[in-house]
Structure 1
Amino acid sequence: MREIGRLRHLSLGMVALLGVGLTTAPFAAAAPPPAPTIAQGNNWDVKPVAAGYQITLRLGAPAPMRASLPLLAVDGEPIGVAKQSTDQRTLTLVSTDPAVLKAKDVKLVWSGDLGKDDRKAESRGAAVGGPNDAYWLKPKLGALLKDDPAKPGKFKVETSEYNLGDEAVFLPGLGQKSEVVGKVYTPVGATGKRPFVLFLHGRHSYCYGGTNEQPEKPWPCTDGAKPVPSYRGYDGAAKALASSGYQVVSISSNAVNAYDGGVYDAGAQARAELILDHLKLWKQWSTAGGGPFGNKYVGKIDLQNIGLMGHSRGGEGVARAAVVNADRGGEFGIRAVLPLAPVDFARSTVPGVAMSVILPYCDGDVSDLQGQKFYDDTRYSVTGDAATRSTVTVLGANHNFFNTEWTPGQSEAPSNDDWGGEGKAAPCDAKYAGRLKAKEQQAVGTAYLSGFFRLHLGNEKQFLPLFDGSDARAASAGRAVVRVVSQAPLATRRDVNRFDSALPKGALTGKASAVVCSGATLKDARAATPTCLTTDGSGDSPHWDSAWFAARTPTMAATRLSWRDKTGVLRVNLPAAQRDVRKFAALSFRTAPDPAGAAKTDLSVRVVDGKGRAVSVPVSKVSDALTRLPGPKTFGLPKNLLRSVRIPVSSLKGIDLKDVRAIELRTDKVAKGTVYLSDLAFSSAGVGVSAPAVKLPRVSASDVKVKEGDKGTQTVDFYVRLHRASTRPVKVYAETNGDLGSTVGDVVRTVVFKPGQVKQKISLPVKSNTRDSYDIQFSLVLSVPHEALLDKSFGHGEVIDDDPTPKLTLGNLTTVEKTGEVGFPMTLSAPSDKYVGVNGQLKDGTAVLKQDYLGYYDEGDPGSRTIDGYVESGQTKGLMLVKIVDDKVKEPAETFTAVVDQADGADIKVPQTLTATITDND
């Protein structure tokens, strides 16, 4: 697991996402008076608020609406997820860490982009391609399919839209009302019940145009602004499917985009609820009729044969919808899920359902390609899972261009190329020869979306080669370079070695070594267990980068094989029951080269039978998995992705396929190297069996609220529960997430339920004290379940401070003219863990501003009458500073006043008027 300080305890900015009962964005009816500023820069400041210290960053131009999480970095260290204002120009988060009071710099960074250099350098030609970039301009290509899934079918397509209103349905996971809007693509003349496919777009701007004034509510659009029609952006794939007899609906989720910055899970649950709400409407319209379509669709839709596509944050939304549907008994037959350039913030699994994850190599938004974890985490999560799954990596594709409404020159609202590089040197630059143009990328999307759903909903097996790892191509995908990794269904697969645990004794000979690794280590960081690689944190390792809501949950384990000469052999012996491999089509495994190793590497795969006869196949002959992916070692490139080595069993001539005794990976091709290995298996392509996983137990975390107490140690007791006992052991990872400060103990735990167990307790210690402190809100996050589904995966915790607020006493000031810097005294009745601040105005008496005194904090503006003061955490004394002007004129004592009209963190009545008396010393 990656050891990254930024991920260990996210600040209360994250707690605002994860907080107990907090589901809405912060739109209060009446704004309080401004808090005093206690740290600031040109475009940022830090102020005390009820929950801690609010850090605010103001941008000169609106920040993009991205799928990735917006983070605030204080002095270069990301400290948490920020909330964005509705005009995207202001970002805020709240932390209880007093270190932010000493901030020197605050910047906006994005999850997945951490460590990435400024792409403007790329557009200036500063970046150069890696040593293997040329290969990817003329790579090995698979055979063309005879039938193209993007080719229009026999049905004409009728389109229509429905709009039930901007606030037509309440989404509990959002705490807000959402629009119910969709575009319908119908095959004209198709008879009987048709498979149903629903598309969900991702996080993008939700309103455009208008007055640009910040509204009180971000949704619905106001002041002349119009909704961004993101749901209309998938016409190509939708029409291809509809023309082949599939009923397609693409729905709008602008309200979720408007509010998901204030939701504990960034909107995944709300998106799932929105999908299921639309499906319930279509259930009514296709059975009883009514609504906007009358009886048009009665008897025409098969809601037991459903596919879901989700783009961007919509990808996590459709994955969550499949799980929630199963949690609720499988009302709808969701049988195929396609996350497109998705986020995976919480490390969920999607067992039982056919899945393909599309990963655009030049994704400039979800640039760490975190959707890879949907595949990695689900592969072996449930015993007997009969579904098939795959990843589809598309070189030259960015995040946005799959949706025409997110594509410049095609969209109604403003849009952009999310990668951003305008040069031609690096492989994701707009002018690079391997970068796909928008229409080329959309053609790829159409081919794979249409092919996937036609395969799994229509059993059109002619499209299976697009997803089985054989790298077959669709003519409509043009010159796109696509690499597919597939896990065949259990019925046609024999797992030989997953390479996720230590090798048996004697498996290695020669000058070779192997270690099981997981995660990535930042440069100069220490790792408690072997990590797979060292990185700069730029999102270049999708298998091993940490997730944001499950930061310390282990990532996929693999074997790292290293060798120093050509004598190394890793031998996997097959037990007697596995030696007959005649029924399988291929021997396959996943591999990738070590990014720190030589530019070129290779292995031989040697298959040995019972009589010692063998066939040896160089990896480079059948796969480019050990050819580095393109890109310079910057901008999050090149990606370190495991790819398929697939050797047809039919090519293993001269050995007895009824009696295969061993598979050897030999280092006889190059003298030195390191590679990663995973998922060695014999398999044949198959569609598998896909259905909601309703028979699995469901695992949930409780909510808990406790008082801090005055003495000793209290506990916060979370309960992790299964909704019923399981006959198999159930495992789930649990970790705390939020700003625990020094009060609440941290936990990272693997929770195992033995057969028959249904409840486990996780206790966190709470240090009691008698000092006034902030209430602490945090979460217990469950992730990557085994033999179960995630039901309520976020347990919300709150520790309520029960100590009295100390009283603050302000005093008058008597000073001598020559004193210079001096202050009105501030005294607390007891130390507090809070920052205590006051704010007020200076008023002249016989002493005059600038002539006799100055406001201390406003030397650049000597005419300012603002006065601030504070008492630091743990202290009882503070000052409201001013400066006394020392002149040479003999004069009587003079006075001025300070009117304190605001105070934070203490018990005090305001306004109060304080008097300063200056005694002449001339």
Structure 2
Amino acid sequence: MVALLGLGLTTAPLASAAPPAPSIAQGNNWSIRPVAAGYELTLRLGAPAPMRASLPLLAVDGEPIGVAKQSNDLRSLTLVTTDPAVLKAKDVKLVWSGDLGQDGKKIESRAAAKGGPNDAYWLKPKLGALLKDDPAKAGKFKVETSEYNLGDEAVFLPGLGQKSEVVGKVYTPVGATGKRPFVLFLHGRHSYCYGDATTPQDKPWPCAKGEKPVPSYRGYDGAAQALASNGYQVVSISSNAVNAYDGGAYDAGAQARAELILDHLKLWKQWSTTGGGPFGAKYVGKVDLQNVGLMGHSRGGEGVARAAVVNADRGGEFGIRAVLPLAPVDFARMTVPGVAMSVILPTCDGDVSDLQGQKFYDDTRYSVTGDAATRSTVTVLGANHNFFNTEWTPGQSEAPSNDDWGGEPKASPCGEKYAGRLKAKEQQAVGTAYLSGFFRLHLGNEKQFLPLFDGSDARAASAGRAVVRVVSQAPLASRRDVNRFDSALPKGALTGKASAVVCSGAKLTSARAATPTCLSTDGSGDSPHWDAAWFAAHTPTMAATRLSWRDKTGVLKLNLPAAQRDVRKYAALSFRAAPDPVGAPKVDLSVRVVDGRGKAVSVPVSKVSDALTRLPGAKENGLPKNLLRTVRIPLSSLKGVDLRDVRSVELRTDKVAKGTVYLSDLSFSSPGVGISAPATKLVKVSASDVKVKEGDKGTQIVDFFVRLNRASTRPVKVYAETTGDLGATVGSVARVVNFKPGQVKQKISLPVKSNTRDSYDLKFQLVLSVPQDALLDRSFGQGEVIDDDPTPTLTVGNLTTVEKNGEAGFPLKLSAASDKYVGLRGKLTDGTAVLKQDFVSQYDEWDPGARDIEGAVEPGQLKGELVVKIVDDKVKEPAETFSAVLDQGDGGEIKLPVTVTGTITDND
């Protein structure tokens, strides 16, 4: 319906809880009013909104308009849009970014769904071999736990503009000698206080008297104990202050979470070198801050990703070598090059339902030339968002908690009583196995755990019955890419009745020709690779090849150049694949490898992988998830093929007569740990801040600059787009920014319409995303258009009306037209005329006996009125008077309080 303006609103807040004047669209708990940037929607809730990782949206008549700014008490939400059609609204509701269908409509409930065509398979799927060593098994060290608390407002976070607590739980391996690898856990967005406040307060943090902080940081004991008992120093930190304030942050708190992590690491640097603080000399010489791993859950996942990048931007003070986002958000499409990364994706996530963390993997895998790190995704079937943290799990938590999936208990495949759904302790066991295994692999070089993350689907016994599917990008040193499937196939590669097209889930305006959309579904967040991000909505998502065929004659043949035909040093041929969600429920291909003598071996995909078997669930509630999964063919199985002289790899349609599949990332590879370290040698790309006066005539130009910190020897690319309160005043942009070698600055110009009317200052952002061969430094440039026109004077007059008129207004008048909604509010008081008997408030139908009076001069107008309803009592009586005491206003110059008189003349 409309253009999204989103967070960072600068319009004046409503000073009254009453609905606005009847001439503006309004309902029992919502209002829409004109403002300089367009139209401001405000929704007031009867109870605080739940704390979720997903972004809050406002939907008008069922259609989501955009990201809303939450008040500190979580009881009101506001956004600005440019479309006047919203003034015809009949209904405004809060919906969440994770609960939306492809058509933009809200899914009202997760009703019991019929099983998908492959649900039975996923209840008893093929499983990989068990590892001999279990990463969750307790090690030889006893674990000592302690906590530190430096205060609720111990550190200022610039990315939040607020002070945060510094609180952590420490897990120490008793008796371990030397410097120990250091692992830090960060929880996500959850309620930050619980209990009944006995003393109201204006700010949400620290907790009010009578409340307690929610101890979310204590919820990862299983993984922390497993790591510490095997010799790792673990700290889990609290971020309740960030949760309290991130509803108004320009980036939903990602930068603030990164700053909080680095603040804790700086403290540990002090405590492990010179000592001091709560631990004295206990940890001096005991912590290796050049061997650091970060785990972030939910919005904490974006936080740890950002922390790794900020640390590299600042010269790599800390050796952050491994990052694990757990059920994360990725609102702004950052990349995390240089460090080992594994993203855990729970298929029954009821909060971050679109599994947007998949894009961390997709966007990073080829983002930097020569990147030597390894990365993976770990998809856990039957797991929800909350239960990885015991403090977010009913029956285990200290504060109130819930199952984020909800819906019918027996609904397939995510209902709490469905056979494929993991119980809370089962899910926590999976989390412990993969968190412990990941950090032991990459910080401790315990290579026995590599099969958990290399795509071979090995299992840990402690993960129990959980069905897990892993996609891995092997490190560059042990990988030879054959075809990424992100650009047109070589000429002549296709024969038979088959076709192929490169597709992407998003179109980038004004930068390149639009590519076909990969999917068109009516699901909710069912396409993690291709759903748009909220703060980088126009940045292209991952490109893939969609292969379709109509009979069994189709062949996609990729010839290997002479220099790449010897593949003996590699362990497997692999690629990512997924079935088309609207095609036949069962589809298959053959992979044929041919050598120079013409000797060939053909392997059906279904023999080695279930990547072409749809994931569980019917086409409802964001299910089944359309995720590319691993097809891995061990080269040892290609008996008779000369691996010194492989000439071609073919994908053949000889197994099924008709079908469509998605393909990506075909390569020869061997498992490897890779080389992981902060990417300090990369150039850094930043967006400037811009502040400009609006002006009186014509069009002003706002120039953002996108800069590199130094010249690069390679081309650098980054995507840039505007978001925020653009309205009709500021032009928008979405484009790719290319730097040739040697270039360090590019200009992005936006037009600003000038006028002579008083307006609000407008704040907006230029967002940078998905850089190529660069790190994101300042990824949000802040723009502001300063209004330079005088505020007009507002006057209000007395009212004289005849009783039979029924409705009347105290006249409002402005000295000059304004772009603002110039409002005035107050209370009605009795005189000889009495409330209810002779007059009533305009809000009486919502609040019987109300005395509120409110009115406005709308943008562009000179006159308005304060409306009051007159009671026609049919009784002959003398003229009567009442008063309006006006003490609140915004948008115009007026000395308050002011009292005006209303006179009612009888007509009986």
- Tell me, yes or no, whether TM beats 0.5: yes
Give matches, 1:867-878, under 5 Å: 867-878=853-864
Identify if the C-alpha distance between structure 1 residues 463 and 112 changes in structure 2 by more than 3 Å, giving closer, same or farther.
same
How far is the alpha carbon of 1:393 from its aligned partner? Answer: 0.3
Match of 2:497 in 1: 511
1:86-485 to 2 correspondences below 5 Å: 88-93=74-79, 100-115=86-101, 122=110, 126-211=112-197, 214-485=200-471
Compared CA separation, residues 645 and 771, structure 1 to 2 (3 A): same
Distance verdict in 2 for CA 1:764–1:819, change over 3 Å: same
Counterpart in the other structure of 2:584: 598
- Distance change (3 Å), C-alpha of 1:613 and 1:804: same
> 2:548 pairs with 549, 562, 569, which one?
562
Q: Deviations over 1:283-324 (max 9, x none)?
A: 122122222222222222211111111111111111111111
Aligned to 1:686: 672
The 3-state SS of whatever aligns with 1:617 is: strand
Secondary structure at 1:40 match in 2: coil
**Aligned residue for 1:763?**
749
| Aligned counterpart, 2:20 | 37
CA distance in 1, matches of 2:71, 2:696: 39
Are residues 1:790 and 2:776 paired? yes
Contact 2:502 2:515 in 1 (8 A): no
| Structure 1 residue 512, shift from structure 2 partner | 1.3
Letter in 2 for 1:304: Q
The alpha-carbon distance between structure 1 residues 774 and 75, as it changes in their structure 2 partners (threshold 3 A), is farther
1:524 maps to: none
Question: Which is further off, 265-274 or 380-389?
Answer: 265-274
TM-score, normalising length: structure 2: 0.94
The CA deviation string for residues 248-275 of structure 1, in whole angstroms up to 9 with x for no partner, is 1111111211222221111111111111
Q: Is the 8 A contact 1:591 1:643 kept in 2?
A: yes
The superposition leaves residues 22-58 of structure 1 with CA deviations (integer Å, 9 ceiling, x where unpaired) of: 9xxx9x9xx9566762343233345688988654434
Kindly provide the amino acid, as one letter, of the partner of residue 556 in structure 1: M
**Alignment partners' CA distance in 1, 2:846 and 2:394:** 45
Q: Is the 8 A contact 1:96 1:739 kept in 2?
A: no
Q: 1:327 to 1:740 in 2, by over 3 A?
A: same
**Partner residue, 1:9:** 4
Q: TM-score, normalised by structure 1?
A: 0.92
Matched residue, 2:690: 704
1:616 is aligned to 602
**In structure 2, C-alpha distance between the alignment counterparts of 1:559 and 1:712, rounded to whole Å:** 47
The 3-state SS of whatever aligns with 2:520 is: strand
Distance change in 2, residues 1:810/1:167 (3 Å): closer
1:152 and 1:846 map into 2 onto residues whose CA distance is: 83
User: Measured at CA, do residues 852 and 418 of structure 1 come closer, stay the same or move farther in structure 2, by a change above 3 Å?
Assistant: closer
Q: Which runs of 5+ in 2 are unaligned?
A: 508-512
After superposing the two structures, state which structure 1 stretch, 616-625 or 289-298, moved more: 289-298
Higher mean C-alpha deviation, range 157-166 or range 695-704: 157-166
Contact persistence 2:19–2:26 (CA under 8 A): no
2:620 corresponds to 1:625: no
Inter-partner Cα distance in structure 2 for 1:865 and 1:279: 56
Q: Which moved more, 1:821-830 or 1:673-682?
A: 821-830
Contact 1:120 1:421 (C-alpha < 8 Å) held by counterparts: no
TM-fit CA distance, 1:168: 1.8
Cα deviation, 1:109-132, whole Å, max 9, x if unaligned, reads: 111211399888546xx3111111
Is the Cα–Cα contact under 8 Å of residues 780 and 795 in structure 1 kept in the other structure?
yes
Alpha-carbon distance, 1:919 to partner: 5.4
Q: Which moved more, 1:534-543 or 1:409-418?
A: 534-543
Once the two structures are superposed, the pairs formed by residues 740-819 of structure 1 within 5 Å of their partners are 740-816=726-802, 818-819=804-805
Distance change in 2, residues 1:849/1:507 (3 Å): same
Secondary structure of 2:117's match?
coil
Q: Deviations over 1:524-576 (max 9, x none)?
A: xxx95311001336111111111111111111011111111211111111111
User: Do 1:35 and 1:902's aligned partners in 2 also have CA atoms closer than 8 Å?
Assistant: no
Paired position in structure 2 for 1:552: 538
SS of residue matched to 1:769 = coil
Q: 1:848-867 residue pairs with structure 2 within 5 A?
A: 855=841, 858=844, 864-867=850-853
- CA drift of 1:584 comes to 0.8
Equivalent pair of 1:96/1:774 in contact (CA under 8 Å):
no
Residue 510 of structure 2: aligned partner: none
Distance in 1 separating the partners of 2:577 and 2:396: 39
- 1:87, 1:214 within 8 Å by CA — same for their partners in 2? no
Distance 1:808 1:176 in 2: 36
CA contact (8 A) 1:307 1:334 kept: yes
Q: Distance in 1 between matches of 2:245 and 2:151?
A: 17
Shift of residue 864, structure 1, vs aligned partner: 5.0
* Cα distance in 1 for residues equivalent to 2:198 and 2:611: 49
Q: How many residues align?
A: 898
Does the Cα contact within 8 Å between 2:101 and 2:107 map onto a contact in 1?
no
CA–CA separation in structure 2 for the residues paired with 1:149 and 1:605: 34
Q: 1:889 to 1:424 in 2, by over 3 A?
A: closer
Distance 1:879 1:232, change over 3 A: closer
How much does 1:60 deviate?
Answer: 4.0
Partner of 1:499: 485
Question: For each residue in 1:196-223, what CA deviation from the matched residue of structure 2 results, as whole angstroms up to 9, or x when unmatched?
Answer: 1111111111222243765322222231
Q: What is the distance in 2 between the residues matched to 1:661 and 1:259?
A: 58
Q: Give a deviation string over 1:48-72, Cα, whole Å, max 9, x none.
A: 8898865443434443211111222
Aligned to 2:717: 731
CA distance in 2, matches of 1:860, 1:119: 29
Cα distance change of structure 1 residues 170 and 812 upon mapping to structure 2, 3 Å threshold: closer
Alpha-carbon displacement from aligned partner over 1:601-627 (angstroms, at most 9, x marks no partner)? 111111122233221111111100010
Q: Distance in 1 between matches of 2:877 and 2:410?
A: 74
Conserved? CA contact 1:702–1:796, under 8 Å:
yes
2:621 is matched with which residue? 635
**Residue deviations 1:300-355 (CA, integer Å, cap 9, x gap):** 22111111111111111111111111111111111111111111111111100000
Closer, same or farther: CA 310–896 of 1 in aligned 2, 3 Å = closer
Do the aligned residues in 2 keep the contact of 1:121 with 1:127 (CA within 8 Å)? no
Q: Distance in 1 between matches of 2:718 and 2:319?
A: 26
Structure 1 stretch displaced more, 203-212 or 473-482:
203-212
The CA deviation at 1:721 is: 0.7
Change (3 A) 1:139 1:386: same
Change beyond 3 A, Cα 1:191–1:105: same
Does the CA contact (< 8 Å) of 1:520 and 1:534 recur in 2?
no
Range with bigger deviation, 647-656 or 862-871: 862-871
Contact 1:565–1:667, Cα closer than 8 Å, also in 2: yes
Distance 2:320 2:874 in 1: 87
Query: What's the Cα RMSD here?
Result: 2.7
The residue type paired with residue 37 of structure 1 is P
SS of 1:238's equivalent in the other structure is helix
* 8 Å CA contact 1:202, 1:313 repeated in 2: yes
How far 1:813 moved relative to its partner?
4.3
Mapping 1:825-864, distance limit 5 Å? 825-843=811-829, 855=841, 858=844, 864=850
* 1:586 matched to 2:586: no
| Paired residue secondary structure (1:535) | coil
Partners of 2:379 and 2:635 lie apart in 1 by: 25
1:38-77 equivalent positions in 2, closer than 5 A? 38=21, 39-46=25-32, 55-77=41-63
